[in-house]
Amino acid sequence: MIIRSKAPLRLGLAGGGTDVAPYSDIYGGAILNATISMYAYATIQPRNDGKIIFNSVDKNEHYELKSTDRLKIDGNLDLHKGIYNRIIKSFIKKPVSFELTTFVDAPPGSGLGTSSTLVVTILGAFTEWLNLPLGEYDMARLAYEIERIDLKMAGGKQDQYAATFGGVNFMEFYKDDKVIVNPLRIKTAYLNELAYNLVLFNTETSRLSSKIIEAQSQNVIRKNKISIEATHNLKQQAIMMKEAILKGELDKIGEILDYGWQNKKLMANDISNSFIDEIYDIAIRNGATGGKISGAGGGGFMIFYCPNNTRSKVIKALSKFGGEAKRYEFTTSGLNTWTI
């Protein structure tokens, strides 16, 4: 028997950072994101020899462990171990033996939600195998708890819900820790045009998002007025983006992205740097009307809105930085699992 699962990575289009505590706990947050045709994959093959084997193909890591009721968190594939530990503790109450193989289409630090998407994908495989009683909201919430509470990894709430639900969603984060996912019914022509005009550029750099997120959180705790006001503006940006996409007012997308980017840079230091600023300026000079860093900032992928057939000119201009424009499509589904 082979159990497989996959879940899509996401582009954060607006509101990024408003899902991060303590801002979301104090003020509430709003995000607009969309999943794309880049995925995290997981395969489970049950064993009966008392071993647990982890294979991370993209990281080229392989570990063989004795099956116990709790695996040591030691810096080696801790996401895999943390998920296993929670499943044993909360559901099946006994060790199991298996081989888990994973792969992600983008590297860590890309800003596309890779870690959270991988957690959702692995959870999905275990749910398929063990028939766990998890609906979509349960799955996303459990993935969030494993990352943020069990493993104490800094970050927000949007990625787990994006990977689980899929599609284009307007997400609301409430002060009582409640999350509401609102799927948007967007005309196919609007979505196709958005995908065509929105260039996804890999800067070929990565960053440790936890440090940036921690700085952002500290600014809220210390009541930094500039940072908090910028985050308020990003929450409003999510509403602006939702209205523009639903109405097909795509000529406003670049301006809305730029509004968000200018505010995001005020949330914490290191969100941008001279290299990122230069990339952004070159894109704008060659026809992009706005853009942003994907994820927390500091590196990874950037997106640029390039209307009126400026796409090719922008991509050519950005080639001087040695990165790559990544082809993608928006997806309508989230986590998928199956058994062979």
Q: What is the CA radius of gyration of the chain?
A: 20
Average pLDDT over residues 305-326: 94
In this structure, of 82-96, 138-152, 195-209, 223-237, the range with the lowest mean pLDDT score is: 195-209
Is the pLDDT assigned to residue 23 strictly greater than 90?
A: yes
Q: Give the span between the Cα atoms of 263 and 286, in whole angstroms.
A: 22
Q: Which of 159, 176, 258, 277 is catalytic?
A: 159
Please state the domain count of the chain.
2
> 108 pLDDT band (50/70/90 cuts)?
confident
Q: Give the span between the Cα atoms of 144 and 166, in whole angstroms.
A: 16
45 and 154 together in one domain: yes
Is residue 300 situated within a structural domain? yes
CB atoms within 10 A of CB 263: 21
Which tokens hold the place of 163? 């990977």
Is the pLDDT assigned to residue 208 strictly greater than 80?
A: no
Q: Which residue has the higher pLDDT, 207 or 83?
A: 83
Nearest CA-CA partner of 116 in 151, 85, 167, 65:
151
110 and 145 together in one domain: yes
Q: Which of 185, 214, 236 is the last residue of a domain?
A: 185
**Total residues belonging to the chain:** 340
All residues at 6 or more sequence positions from 262 whose CB lies less than 8 Å from its CB, including other chains = none
Is the pLDDT assigned to residue 240 strictly greater than 80?
A: yes
In this structure, of 15-19, 144-148, 292-296, the range with the lowest mean pLDDT score is: 292-296
In the 8-state DSSP scheme, what is residue 327?
P
225 and 302 together in one domain: yes
All residues at 6 or more sequence positions from 121 whose CB lies less than 8 Å from its CB, including other chains = 5, 6, 7, 39, 40, 41, 42, 102, 163, 335
Is residue 331 situated within a structural domain? no
Is residue 336 situated within a structural domain? no
Q: Write out the DSSP string of 217-265.
A: HHHHHTT-HHHHHHHHHHHHHHHHHHHHHHHT-GGGHHHHHHHHHHHHT
Is the pLDDT assigned to residue 296 strictly greater than 90?
A: no
Which tokens hold the place of 89? 């503790």
> 206 pLDDT band (50/70/90 cuts)?
low
Largest separation between any pair of C-alpha atoms in the chain: 61
Active site residue 159: yes
Range of the domain at 271: 188-326
Nearest CA-CA partner of 221 in 19, 22, 16, 20:
22
Is residue 333 situated within a structural domain? no
CATH code of the domain containing 21:
3.30.230.10
99 and 197 together in one domain: no
Is residue 340 situated within a structural domain? no
Q: Write out the DSSP string of 143-181.
A: HHHIIIIIS-----SHHHHHHHH-SEEEEEE-TTS-EEE
pLDDT tens-digit series, residues 121-175: 999 999 999 999 999 999 999 999 999 999 999 889 999 999 999 999 999 999 8
- Confidence (pLDDT) at 62: 96
- Confidence (pLDDT) at 88: 97
- Confidence (pLDDT) at 57: 97
- The model's pTM is 0.94
CATH code of the domain containing 193:
3.30.70.890
- Confidence (pLDDT) at 209: 66
172 and 196 together in one domain: no
